[in-house]
Amino acid sequence: MRKWAVLPFLALFLAIPFLSGCTYLGLLPPTPKDPHTYSFRTHAFGTSALLDEASRFYFKGDFIEARGEYKRFLELHPTHPLAAFAQYRMGMCDFYQILSVDRDPSPVRKALSDFQKVIDEYPDSPYVSKAEKKVTYCRDRLSRVHFYVGSFYYRTKRYKAASYRFHTILLKYPDSARYDRAEYYFALSKFHLKERDQAARLLGKLIQQFPRSKYARKSRILLSYWKREGYISR
């Protein structure tokens, strides 16, 4: 086989990882996975040009327009057999617009709200289990956003603002994987704000809650140092 004949196959082989990565990042239209994907007019649920139009936008990657059509469908047909599906797709439209933690978190909040509605308003829907997984992801993502911003404030010595962000994680996201870290830096922020007794109590609480955490080890070292230096009385 001549060398030039191999080139098209080589180009296709090299393009596969790139295209897979783009799909993962949401840069290409999502792959159809739902049972209700194409024309809704052929289903027993009845005619719905709105869902047809919404799906066309959705699979083109135009998630803003798609979300608008799904929302309009729900406003007109709140009790339709595919209402839960439309609500879930609204969440997916926001989900595909989620960017890195240093960018606007509005799509995460909107997606969380949309997926939570699937759970609350359509508890018998087959989309509930999918929505629950997305809710877990969105909650974790929001806790990451708060930690990212809080860490920035802490590094720049804006301890009051940092304290607010870390405390938000403790109040709103107790299931966060960053809970022990947030509690540790919340305590340090309080220490820098001259609220040293509260800082000591927070570190003591962290040690009890997460005895094997590396932040518990750091807390023990800090408490020992603060006592030795006279920063705290106990």
pLDDT in tens, 14-51: 444 433 333 333 344 455 455 444 444 444 444 468 88
- Which of the listed CATH numbers 3.40.50.300, 1.25.40.10, 3.60.15.10, 3.40.50.1100 matches domain 36-144? 1.25.40.10
Percent of the chain with pLDDT over 90: 68
Tokens linked to 135: 């809710």
Tokens linked to 54: 């919404």
The pLDDT score that the predictor gives to residue 127 is 96
The pLDDT score that the predictor gives to residue 99 is 84
DSSP helix, strand, coil percent of the chain (3-state; round to 5): 70, 0, 30
Domain boundaries, the chain: 36-144, 157-234
Tokens linked to 203: 């570190």
167, 160 Cβ separation under 8 angstroms = no
pLDDT tens digits along 5-14: 544 444 444 4
Query: Cα separation of 8 and 26, whole Å?
Result: 26
- Which of the listed CATH numbers 1.20.1080.10, 1.25.40.10, 1.10.150.20, 1.20.120.1630 matches domain 157-234? 1.25.40.10
Asked if pLDDT for residue 59 goes beyond 50, the answer is yes
